[in-house]
Structure 1
């Protein structure tokens, strides 16, 4: 079997597609994992809880 340009391009496109799908699923799984909820909630509210950053009048 001869590896020409079209075979390598097809393989790289398919591998890249499956790689990005897998990476997206891993990131989505990490973001929606139940034990990470508290960490993300703290990060989302951290900017709102900082009361010492007030304008000087």
Structure 2
């Protein structure tokens, strides 16, 4: 089995599971309790004055 076929087999069988797990991890990171301060800061950042404008 060539290196390409090995990578192709991995992508076909486990790649989707890895990508889906990474997606869930990144989406769930937002809801962690220690992320609250950053979320609040980002939520209100569009209402802050921009001195460069």
- TM-score for the superposition, normalised by structure 1: 0.59
Structure 1: give runs of 5+ residues left out of the alignment.
Answer: none
Q: Which residue of 1 aligns with 2:23?
A: 24
Kindly report which structure 2 residues correspond to 1:1-57, keeping only aligned pairs within 5 A, or say none.
Answer: 9-50=8-49, 52=51
Q: Does the residue aligned with 2:30 lie in a helix, a strand or coil?
A: helix
Larger Rg: 1
Measure the CA separation in 2 of the matches of 1:39 and 1:14: 36
Give RMSD over aligned pairs.
2.9
The runs of 5 or more residues in structure 2 that have no matched partner are none
